[in-house]
Amino acid sequence: MDRKSFFKHMALSGGAVISASVLGIPNSVSAASGKKTTWNDQLKRSADVVIVGGGLGGCAAALASLRNNLTVILTEETDWIGGQITQQGVPPDEHPWIETHGATRLYRDFRNAIRQYYIRNYPLTEDAKARPYLNPGDGSVSKLCHEPRVALAVLNEMLAPYISNGKLCLLPEHKIHSATLDGNRVKSLKVIDLRTKNLVELTAPYFVDATELGDLLPITETEFVTGTESRSETGELHAPEKANHENNQSFTVCFAMDYVPGENHIIEKPHDYEFWRNYIPKMTPQWPGKLLDLQYSNPSTLQPKQLGFHPEGIRTGSLFNLWNYRRIINRNNFTPGFYPGDITIVNWPQNDYMLGNLIGATPKDFEKHVNHAKQLSLSLLYWLQTEAPRPDNGKGWPGIRLRRDILGTEDGLAKYPYIRESRRIKAAFTVTEQHVGKESRALVTGDKNVKLAADFFDSVGIGYYHIDIHPDCGGNNYIDFDSLPFQIPLGALLPIRMENLLPANKNIGTTHITNGCYRLHPVEWNIGESVGMLVTYALTKKVIPKQVREQKEMLEEFQQMIRSQGIETHW
């Protein structure tokens, strides 16, 4: 809803209570269902900060606030906190220096706690146990590929003391419903308890949007952008000539599978299987063939690239074996016979869903696209079980088993789709390709050997990942190119107008292009942790966040504060 339509709605509704359903944000309670939400005046909670969304950014924001003695309400739409690393089933995407630097101390503590969880509780081999950088799955995507449930257990351990002392109120299965505003401030939020259907009113001096899609932004009338900006808007080398604000990256419904040789675990044929078996993505530049194939567009060159597949992790000649890509359990790291086979997560080019946009979708369309994406993932599984080419020239691997227990769902699919792109705040400062892209920085600086991204005076963190933009719902193929180790500017965390709402996920002040390197696990964590400390600082000093950036002495004091608590601000 644009601002004109928003105010028209406000005039018609006669108040400043803004409902998610009116603004096209999916609500689990549909008017068509006949189920009415109820309001009980006793269902009210307050804290120093309300954080909506229990992903990595939300958890990090909560932990940073809690260690600085604030009270926190943390809500989460599903029954699992952790976002992309748990409920979405995505092992961490990280840079090569992650073990020693380039992330916050708390994030590294989190990673080390995952390793210790395996050492304490699992029958590791002596060799695996002795490794300083244990990687349970030895997946190639990360130096730490692990089960979603282990990350969930560690996050719950980290939060448990604060639940015990009453500083943290954790509300799983609660979804944003509406907001009450007062000019440039949020007065309160209402969330719906998805189990009881009751509405709960949450009040605080500060609110944090850590949702996967930036759901608080339209509800609170916070200015935001979506999709692709034009080259004339941003000056970015890789931006298109025309903007398309409906055009967002594909999302993926992940799943886990293992392999039991000699057994038959073929699932029932998905009802959309014939559609997906024959589907050829309509892309510019063109996709090389059918989506369900061991061939895809090389992200950096867009030329056809052949992939390998073998569910026992065996090398497939010179081809990259997809099984090993996001493998979260390598059976050889555990005592012989403990696992019948490896366990891997399927978040591959073949199950990226490109046929719909979740941002701003009606509840009906949201459900339709997610269900269609689930059919794609199940169709990929069925294709692997029945038709995927084998080295012996046969077809299919019947022993591949859908591991429903790994992601804690009846259908075996992730609790929530893996979201790569969100609504993004219109920020006091927006990071563009000129700040972080390797080629662009060389042009800006005149130094073709430039090593670092732009230096931001207001840095509140650092990160690195190449700019990785998956095929989108507008028919564009991959955009994938080198970036440079970058900083997180405080200005990108400050909405241009709202005073007490802050972002803590993929909803910061980036462009469609730069979102491609700011959306990964350690960066999201750093954003959330910095936001939690910004709330602490603003409350302590009795200022609003934008003043922290605008006043040099205050900014330097805040940066010293976050550095003292383990947040790196410079490479």
The β-bridge relationship of strands 72-76 and 49-52 is parallel
Checking if the pLDDT of 26 tops 90, the result is no
pLDDT of residue 34 exceeding 60, the answer is: no
Distance, CA of 226 to CA of 216 (rounded, Å): 14
pLDDT the model gives residue 20: 52
What Rg, from alpha-carbon coordinates, does the chain have?
23
Please, what's the b/e burial string for 235-248 (b: 16 or more CB within 10 A of its CB; e: otherwise)? ebebbbeebbeebb
Could you tell me the two tokens for 478?
């991959």
Q: What is the pLDDT of residue 40?
A: 55
Q: Give tens-digit pLDDT for 390-416.
A: 999 999 999 999 999 999 999 999 999
- Enter the tokens of residue 506: 């993929």
- Ordered alpha helix ranges (H), 134-248: 148-164, 216-219, 231-234
- What would the pLDDT profile of 409-435 be if each residue is shown by its tens digit? 999 999 999 999 999 999 999 999 999
The answer to whether the pTM exceeds 0.85 is yes
With cut-offs at 50, 70 and 90, classify the pLDDT of residue 29: very low
What's residue 544's pLDDT? Answer: 98
**Does residue 86 carry a pLDDT above 50?**
yes
Residue 316 has a pLDDT of 85
Q: What gap in Å lies between CA 438 and CA 514, rounded to an integer?
A: 12
Span 328-350, pLDDT tens digits: 999 999 999 999 999 999 999 99
The predicted pLDDT at position 378 comes to 98
Q: Closest Cα partner for 75 from 216, 183, 186, 185?
A: 216
**More confident position, 382 or 19:** 382
Rounded Cα distance between 277 and 472, Å, is: 20
pLDDT of amino acid 356: 94
Q: Which segments of the chain belong to CATH 3.50.50.60?
A: 3-91+150-219
Report whether pLDDT(11) > 60.
no
Give the integer Cα–Cα distance in Å for 137 and 342: 8
Q: What's the rounded mean pLDDT across residues 473-498?
A: 97
Q: Where are the beta strands (DSSP E) in 194-271?
A: 198-203, 206-209, 224-225, 251-252, 255-259
Least-confidence region, from 18-22, 206-210, 385-389, 433-437? 18-22
DSSP one-letter code for 341:
S
pLDDT tier at 315, thresholds 50, 70, 90: confident
Provide the pLDDT confidence category of residue 317 given band limits of 50, 70 and 90.
confident
- For the 3-91+150-219 domain, the top CATH level (class) is alpha beta
Percentage with pLDDT > 90 across the chain: 92
What is the overall mean pLDDT for the chain? 93
Query: Sign of torsion, CA 189 359 382 258?
Result: negative
In this predicted model, what pLDDT tens digit does every residue of 503-539 receive, in sequence order? 999 999 999 999 999 999 999 999 999 999 999 999 9
b/e per residue, 149-179, with b = 16+ CB within 10 A?
bbbbbbbeebbeebeeeebbbbbbbbbbbbb
Give the pLDDT score at 41. Answer: 52
What is the DSSP code string of 75-115?
A: EESSS--SGGGTTT--PPP--TTTTTSSS-HHHHHHHHHHH
What is the C-alpha to C-alpha distance for residues 532 and 524, in angstroms, rounded to an integer? 12
Question: What's the whole-number mean pLDDT along residues 468-494?
Answer: 97
Q: How confident is the model at residue 148, as a pLDDT?
A: 98
